[in-house]
Amino acid sequence: MKRYLKICALLSALTVTVCGCDAQPTNSRPTSGVSSLIVINTVSEPSSSSSDVQANAPVRSDKIVSEDMTIAAAETLTVKSGETLYIRDGAEFTVDGTVNCERGGSIKIQSGGNLLLNGKLILDGSLELGGFLGIREKGEIYGAGLLTVLNSFEDINCEGTCLAKIKAPAPVEKDGVTYVGGVLIVNKKYSVPEDYGAELGLVIDDAYNALLQMREDTGYSLPLVSGYRSYELQTELFDYYCEIDDYDKVIMYSAQPGHSEHQTGLAMDIGELSEDYVNTEEGRWLTDNCCKYGFVIRFPKGCEHKTGYDYEPWHIRWLGKSTAKLVYDSGLTLEEFLGVEPM
Ligand SMILES: [Zn+2]
Protein backbone atom coordinates (compact mmCIF):
# COMPACT_ATOMS: atom_id res chain seq x y z
CA MET A 1 0.00 0.00 0.00
CA LYS A 2 1.24 3.41 -0.82
CA ARG A 3 -0.31 6.51 0.53
CA TYR A 4 0.16 9.38 -1.75
CA LEU A 5 -0.40 12.81 -0.38
CA LYS A 6 -0.03 15.63 -2.77
CA ILE A 7 0.30 19.14 -1.53
CA CYS A 8 0.50 22.04 -3.86
CA ALA A 9 2.04 24.55 -1.52
CA LEU A 10 2.97 28.14 -1.72
CA LEU A 11 6.70 28.58 -1.87
CA SER A 12 6.74 30.23 1.50
CA ALA A 13 5.34 27.09 3.00
CA LEU A 14 8.37 25.11 1.90
CA THR A 15 10.37 25.97 4.98
CA VAL A 16 7.70 24.31 7.06
CA THR A 17 8.59 20.76 7.93
CA VAL A 18 6.82 18.25 5.82
CA CYS A 19 5.41 15.84 8.32
CA GLY A 20 5.05 12.13 8.04
CA CYS A 21 2.49 10.22 6.08
CA ASP A 22 -0.33 10.98 8.44
CA ALA A 23 -0.11 14.71 8.06
CA GLN A 24 -3.30 16.19 6.76
CA PRO A 25 -3.05 18.94 4.23
CA THR A 26 -4.96 21.29 6.46
CA ASN A 27 -2.72 24.16 5.58
CA SER A 28 -2.74 23.60 1.88
CA ARG A 29 -3.92 26.71 0.22
CA PRO A 30 -5.58 27.42 -3.06
CA THR A 31 -3.01 27.73 -5.77
CA SER A 32 -4.62 30.52 -7.72
CA GLY A 33 -2.26 33.27 -8.65
CA VAL A 34 0.84 31.22 -7.88
CA SER A 35 2.88 30.34 -10.90
CA SER A 36 5.85 28.57 -9.33
CA LEU A 37 4.80 25.52 -7.46
CA ILE A 38 6.52 22.63 -5.93
CA VAL A 39 4.73 19.38 -5.55
CA ILE A 40 5.51 17.70 -2.31
CA ASN A 41 4.66 14.07 -1.92
CA THR A 42 5.07 12.24 1.28
CA VAL A 43 5.30 8.60 0.65
CA SER A 44 4.96 5.87 3.18
CA GLU A 45 7.26 3.19 1.92
CA PRO A 46 6.02 -0.36 2.17
CA SER A 47 8.23 -2.47 4.39
CA SER A 48 10.95 -4.14 2.42
CA SER A 49 9.92 -7.69 3.32
CA SER A 50 6.34 -7.85 4.51
CA SER A 51 3.28 -5.65 4.56
CA ASP A 52 2.10 -6.49 8.06
CA VAL A 53 4.51 -4.09 9.73
CA GLN A 54 3.21 -1.04 7.96
CA ALA A 55 2.89 0.89 11.18
CA ASN A 56 6.61 0.66 11.78
CA ALA A 57 7.66 1.25 8.19
CA PRO A 58 10.12 4.10 7.82
CA VAL A 59 8.64 7.22 6.40
CA ARG A 60 10.43 8.80 3.53
CA SER A 61 9.57 12.24 2.33
CA ASP A 62 10.05 13.24 -1.25
CA LYS A 63 10.02 16.71 -2.61
CA ILE A 64 9.52 16.73 -6.31
CA VAL A 65 10.21 19.55 -8.70
CA SER A 66 8.47 18.63 -11.90
CA GLU A 67 8.07 22.05 -13.46
CA ASP A 68 10.07 25.29 -13.48
CA MET A 69 10.26 26.97 -10.11
CA THR A 70 12.43 29.36 -8.13
CA ILE A 71 13.55 29.63 -4.53
CA ALA A 72 13.61 33.39 -4.00
CA ALA A 73 16.58 35.22 -2.50
CA ALA A 74 15.18 35.36 1.04
CA GLU A 75 13.90 31.79 1.09
CA THR A 76 15.40 28.54 2.31
CA LEU A 77 14.38 25.08 1.30
CA THR A 78 15.57 22.43 3.72
CA VAL A 79 16.02 18.82 2.71
CA LYS A 80 16.07 16.91 5.95
CA SER A 81 17.58 13.57 6.81
CA GLY A 82 15.60 10.84 5.06
CA GLU A 83 14.18 13.24 2.52
CA THR A 84 14.92 13.33 -1.17
CA LEU A 85 14.47 16.30 -3.43
CA TYR A 86 13.97 15.17 -7.00
CA ILE A 87 14.44 17.52 -9.93
CA ARG A 88 12.64 15.83 -12.75
CA ASP A 89 13.21 15.71 -16.48
CA GLY A 90 12.29 19.01 -18.11
CA ALA A 91 12.12 20.98 -14.85
CA GLU A 92 14.33 23.98 -14.18
CA PHE A 93 14.87 24.59 -10.49
CA THR A 94 16.40 28.02 -9.89
CA VAL A 95 17.85 28.78 -6.49
CA ASP A 96 18.32 32.47 -5.76
CA GLY A 97 18.11 31.82 -2.03
CA THR A 98 19.34 28.77 -0.14
CA VAL A 99 18.88 25.05 -0.32
CA ASN A 100 20.03 23.33 2.83
CA CYS A 101 20.53 19.63 2.25
CA GLU A 102 21.14 18.22 5.69
CA ARG A 103 23.17 15.14 6.51
CA GLY A 104 21.16 12.10 5.45
CA GLY A 105 19.15 14.13 2.97
CA SER A 106 19.61 13.83 -0.77
CA ILE A 107 19.06 15.73 -3.97
CA LYS A 108 18.71 13.91 -7.24
CA ILE A 109 18.93 15.91 -10.44
CA GLN A 110 17.50 13.42 -12.84
CA SER A 111 18.32 13.13 -16.53
CA GLY A 112 16.87 16.21 -18.23
CA GLY A 113 16.44 18.06 -14.91
CA ASN A 114 18.22 21.36 -14.25
CA LEU A 115 19.43 23.03 -11.09
CA LEU A 116 20.54 26.62 -11.59
CA LEU A 117 22.27 28.06 -8.57
CA ASN A 118 22.54 31.79 -8.05
CA GLY A 119 22.46 31.43 -4.29
CA LYS A 120 23.71 28.80 -1.88
CA LEU A 121 23.53 25.07 -1.68
CA ILE A 122 24.66 23.83 1.71
CA LEU A 123 25.41 20.24 0.94
CA ASP A 124 25.86 18.10 4.03
CA GLY A 125 23.90 15.28 2.43
CA SER A 126 24.30 13.95 -1.09
CA LEU A 127 23.68 15.30 -4.53
CA GLU A 128 23.40 12.92 -7.46
CA LEU A 129 23.87 14.62 -10.80
CA GLY A 130 22.23 12.91 -13.74
CA GLY A 131 20.95 16.12 -15.32
CA PHE A 132 22.49 19.59 -15.43
CA LEU A 133 23.95 21.76 -12.69
CA GLY A 134 24.64 25.41 -13.38
CA ILE A 135 26.62 27.20 -10.68
CA ARG A 136 26.35 30.84 -11.66
CA GLU A 137 28.91 33.48 -10.79
CA LYS A 138 27.50 34.15 -7.32
CA GLY A 139 26.38 30.60 -6.75
CA GLU A 140 28.17 28.45 -4.23
CA ILE A 141 28.10 24.90 -2.97
CA TYR A 142 29.75 23.97 0.29
CA GLY A 143 29.35 21.51 3.12
CA ALA A 144 30.57 18.09 4.16
CA GLY A 145 28.43 16.17 1.67
CA LEU A 146 29.18 14.54 -1.64
CA LEU A 147 28.32 15.58 -5.17
CA THR A 148 28.31 12.52 -7.40
CA VAL A 149 28.65 13.11 -11.14
CA LEU A 150 26.91 10.20 -12.85
CA ASN A 151 27.78 10.93 -16.45
CA SER A 152 30.01 13.80 -17.49
CA PHE A 153 31.65 16.91 -16.13
CA GLU A 154 30.03 18.68 -19.06
CA ASP A 155 26.83 18.38 -17.04
CA ILE A 156 28.23 21.06 -14.74
CA ASN A 157 28.77 24.65 -15.73
CA CYS A 158 30.65 26.18 -12.83
CA GLU A 159 31.14 29.92 -12.94
CA GLY A 160 30.83 30.20 -9.17
CA THR A 161 32.31 28.16 -6.36
CA CYS A 162 32.03 24.51 -5.50
CA LEU A 163 33.76 23.45 -2.32
CA ALA A 164 31.87 20.20 -1.78
CA LYS A 165 33.66 16.95 -2.46
CA ILE A 166 33.01 15.64 -5.95
CA LYS A 167 32.89 12.00 -6.92
CA ALA A 168 33.71 11.34 -10.56
CA PRO A 169 32.28 8.52 -12.66
CA ALA A 170 34.41 5.42 -13.25
CA PRO A 171 37.03 5.58 -16.02
CA VAL A 172 35.85 4.53 -19.47
CA GLU A 173 38.18 3.38 -22.23
CA LYS A 174 37.41 4.23 -25.83
CA ASP A 175 39.77 3.39 -28.70
CA GLY A 176 42.68 3.04 -26.32
CA VAL A 177 42.04 6.40 -24.64
CA THR A 178 40.75 6.70 -21.07
CA TYR A 179 38.13 9.25 -20.06
CA VAL A 180 36.73 10.04 -16.64
CA GLY A 181 33.42 11.85 -16.88
CA GLY A 182 34.48 13.01 -20.35
CA VAL A 183 37.91 14.21 -19.18
CA LEU A 184 40.78 12.57 -21.05
CA ILE A 185 43.38 11.28 -18.63
CA VAL A 186 47.00 10.59 -19.53
CA ASN A 187 49.62 9.88 -16.91
CA LYS A 188 52.11 7.17 -15.94
CA LYS A 189 49.26 4.67 -15.64
CA TYR A 190 47.04 5.70 -18.55
CA SER A 191 48.41 6.06 -22.08
CA VAL A 192 47.19 6.98 -25.54
CA PRO A 193 47.81 4.95 -28.71
CA GLU A 194 50.94 5.57 -30.75
CA ASP A 195 49.10 7.29 -33.59
CA TYR A 196 46.90 9.42 -31.32
CA GLY A 197 46.81 13.16 -31.80
CA ALA A 198 48.63 13.54 -35.11
CA GLU A 199 45.70 15.45 -36.59
CA LEU A 200 45.42 17.81 -33.64
CA GLY A 201 48.05 20.36 -34.59
CA LEU A 202 49.90 22.43 -32.00
CA VAL A 203 47.16 22.28 -29.37
CA ILE A 204 43.41 22.03 -29.62
CA ASP A 205 41.75 25.24 -30.78
CA ASP A 206 39.95 26.01 -27.52
CA ALA A 207 43.18 25.80 -25.55
CA TYR A 208 45.06 27.97 -28.04
CA ASN A 209 42.32 30.58 -28.08
CA ALA A 210 42.39 30.64 -24.29
CA LEU A 211 46.16 31.26 -24.41
CA LEU A 212 45.60 34.19 -26.79
CA GLN A 213 42.96 35.54 -24.44
CA MET A 214 45.31 35.31 -21.44
CA ARG A 215 47.92 37.29 -23.39
CA GLU A 216 45.40 39.89 -24.46
CA ASP A 217 43.96 40.34 -20.96
CA THR A 218 47.29 40.61 -19.18
CA GLY A 219 49.84 41.92 -21.64
CA TYR A 220 52.18 39.10 -20.62
CA SER A 221 53.95 37.37 -23.49
CA LEU A 222 53.25 33.86 -22.11
CA PRO A 223 55.41 32.22 -24.79
CA LEU A 224 54.34 28.79 -25.94
CA VAL A 225 57.48 26.68 -25.56
CA SER A 226 55.94 23.33 -26.37
CA GLY A 227 52.49 22.14 -27.40
CA TYR A 228 51.68 18.94 -29.28
CA ARG A 229 54.42 16.33 -29.35
CA SER A 230 54.11 13.15 -31.38
CA TYR A 231 54.83 9.70 -29.99
CA GLU A 232 58.03 9.65 -32.09
CA LEU A 233 59.24 13.00 -30.79
CA GLN A 234 58.48 11.95 -27.22
CA THR A 235 60.51 8.77 -27.82
CA GLU A 236 63.49 10.82 -29.02
CA LEU A 237 63.21 13.21 -26.09
CA PHE A 238 62.90 10.49 -23.47
CA ASP A 239 65.81 8.52 -24.95
CA TYR A 240 67.94 11.65 -25.08
CA TYR A 241 67.23 12.52 -21.43
CA CYS A 242 68.12 8.96 -20.45
CA GLU A 243 71.51 9.41 -22.14
CA ILE A 244 72.36 12.56 -20.20
CA ASP A 245 70.64 11.85 -16.88
CA ASP A 246 69.83 9.06 -14.43
CA TYR A 247 66.73 7.10 -15.35
CA ASP A 248 65.21 7.64 -11.88
CA LYS A 249 65.47 11.38 -12.37
CA VAL A 250 64.30 11.33 -15.98
CA ILE A 251 61.01 9.62 -15.20
CA MET A 252 60.17 12.44 -12.79
CA TYR A 253 60.34 15.09 -15.51
CA SER A 254 59.84 13.32 -18.83
CA ALA A 255 56.96 11.06 -19.81
CA GLN A 256 57.48 7.72 -21.48
CA PRO A 257 56.22 7.65 -25.08
CA GLY A 258 52.43 7.28 -25.14
CA HIS A 259 52.16 8.68 -21.63
CA SER A 260 52.73 12.36 -22.38
CA GLU A 261 49.87 14.83 -22.11
CA HIS A 262 51.59 16.73 -24.90
CA GLN A 263 50.52 14.00 -27.30
CA THR A 264 46.88 14.89 -26.65
CA GLY A 265 47.09 18.54 -27.76
CA LEU A 266 45.62 19.45 -24.37
CA ALA A 267 48.86 20.51 -22.69
CA MET A 268 51.20 23.44 -23.16
CA ASP A 269 54.52 24.45 -21.69
CA ILE A 270 54.46 28.20 -21.12
CA GLY A 271 57.20 30.66 -20.29
CA GLU A 272 60.36 29.08 -18.92
CA LEU A 273 60.97 25.43 -18.16
CA SER A 274 62.25 26.26 -14.70
CA GLU A 275 60.80 26.13 -11.23
CA ASP A 276 61.87 29.76 -10.94
CA TYR A 277 59.23 30.70 -13.47
CA VAL A 278 56.71 30.87 -10.63
CA ASN A 279 58.82 33.58 -9.01
CA THR A 280 58.38 35.84 -12.01
CA GLU A 281 55.34 38.09 -12.13
CA GLU A 282 54.11 36.32 -15.24
CA GLY A 283 54.64 32.82 -13.87
CA ARG A 284 52.90 33.71 -10.62
CA TRP A 285 49.97 35.11 -12.54
CA LEU A 286 49.73 31.92 -14.59
CA THR A 287 49.63 29.75 -11.47
CA ASP A 288 47.00 31.88 -9.78
CA ASN A 289 44.80 32.61 -12.76
CA CYS A 290 45.05 29.98 -15.47
CA CYS A 291 42.01 28.17 -14.07
CA LYS A 292 39.85 31.13 -15.01
CA TYR A 293 40.81 30.46 -18.62
CA GLY A 294 40.28 26.69 -18.49
CA PHE A 295 43.68 25.35 -17.44
CA VAL A 296 45.23 23.77 -14.38
CA ILE A 297 48.85 23.58 -13.30
CA ARG A 298 49.07 19.88 -13.89
CA PHE A 299 52.03 19.03 -11.65
CA PRO A 300 51.73 21.21 -8.55
CA LYS A 301 54.43 21.78 -5.97
CA GLY A 302 54.74 19.12 -3.27
CA CYS A 303 52.51 16.69 -5.19
CA GLU A 304 55.24 14.57 -6.77
CA HIS A 305 53.91 11.39 -5.16
CA LYS A 306 50.37 12.23 -6.28
CA THR A 307 51.11 13.04 -9.91
CA GLY A 308 54.31 11.07 -10.48
CA TYR A 309 56.13 14.20 -11.70
CA ASP A 310 58.28 16.98 -10.34
CA TYR A 311 56.76 20.41 -9.90
CA GLU A 312 56.25 22.14 -13.26
CA PRO A 313 54.85 25.66 -12.98
CA TRP A 314 55.03 25.94 -16.77
CA HIS A 315 52.98 22.90 -17.78
CA ILE A 316 49.29 23.74 -18.08
CA ARG A 317 46.54 21.34 -19.03
CA TRP A 318 43.34 22.35 -20.79
CA LEU A 319 40.14 21.17 -19.09
CA GLY A 320 37.71 23.88 -20.10
CA LYS A 321 36.71 26.72 -17.81
CA SER A 322 34.14 24.92 -15.70
CA THR A 323 36.11 21.76 -14.96
CA ALA A 324 39.33 23.71 -14.40
CA LYS A 325 37.48 25.84 -11.84
CA LEU A 326 36.15 22.74 -10.08
CA VAL A 327 39.62 21.19 -9.92
CA TYR A 328 41.14 24.46 -8.70
CA ASP A 329 38.46 24.90 -6.02
CA SER A 330 39.00 21.32 -4.86
CA GLY A 331 42.68 21.97 -4.17
CA LEU A 332 43.37 18.47 -5.52
CA THR A 333 45.59 17.16 -8.26
CA LEU A 334 43.76 16.03 -11.40
CA GLU A 335 44.32 12.40 -10.40
CA GLU A 336 42.80 12.94 -6.96
CA PHE A 337 39.91 14.92 -8.42
CA LEU A 338 39.09 12.21 -10.94
CA GLY A 339 39.76 9.41 -8.46
CA VAL A 340 42.35 7.67 -10.63
CA GLU A 341 45.80 6.26 -9.91
CA PRO A 342 48.79 8.35 -11.00
CA MET A 343 51.00 5.38 -11.79
ZN1 LIG B 1 54.86 19.92 -20.43
| Res 153: pLDDT | 98
138 pLDDT above the threshold of 70: yes
284 pLDDT above the threshold of 80: yes
Single pTM value for the model: 0.85
**154-172 average pLDDT score:** 98
Provide the pLDDT confidence category of residue 43 given band limits of 50, 70 and 90: low
Q: Which residues contact 220 (CB under 8 A, 6 or more apart)?
A: 214, 281, 282, 285, 286
| Res 38: pLDDT | 60
| Res 3: pLDDT | 33
* Distance from residue 227's CA to the centre of ligand 1 (Å): 8
**107-129 average pLDDT score:** 98
* Distance from residue 47's CA to the centre of ligand 1 (Å): 57
**Average pLDDT over the chain, rounded to an integer:** 87
Query: Does residue 14 or residue 58 have the better pLDDT?
Result: 58
Query: Does residue 39 or residue 121 have the better pLDDT?
Result: 121
Q: Which residues contact 249 (CB under 8 A, 6 or more apart)?
A: none
* Distance from residue 5's CA to the centre of ligand 1 (Å): 59
Provide the pLDDT confidence category of residue 42 given band limits of 50, 70 and 90: low
**217-235 average pLDDT score:** 97
| Res 13: pLDDT | 36
Q: What percent of the chain has pLDDT over 70?
A: 83
24 pLDDT above the threshold of 50: no
| Res 253: pLDDT | 96
CATH class of 172-338: alpha beta
* Distance from residue 261's CA to the centre of ligand 1 (Å): 7
Q: Distance between CA atoms of 288 and 328, rounded to whole angstroms?
A: 10
137 pLDDT above the threshold of 80: yes
* Distance from residue 10's CA to the centre of ligand 1 (Å): 56
* Distance from residue 262's CA to the centre of ligand 1 (Å): 6
Task: Enumerate residues with CB within 5 Å of ligand 1 (an ion).
Answer: 269, 315
* Distance from residue 330's CA to the centre of ligand 1 (Å): 22
* Distance from residue 161's CA to the centre of ligand 1 (Å): 28
22 pLDDT above the threshold of 90: no
In our burial notation (b when 16+ CB lie closer than 10 A, e otherwise), range 278-311 reads beeebbeebbeebbebbbbbbbbeebeebbbbeb
37 pLDDT above the threshold of 50: no
52 pLDDT above the threshold of 60: no
Q: Distance between CA atoms of 94 and 117, rounded to whole angstroms?
A: 6
* Distance from residue 111's CA to the centre of ligand 1 (Å): 37
- Is 70:119 a contact under the CB 8 Å cutoff? no
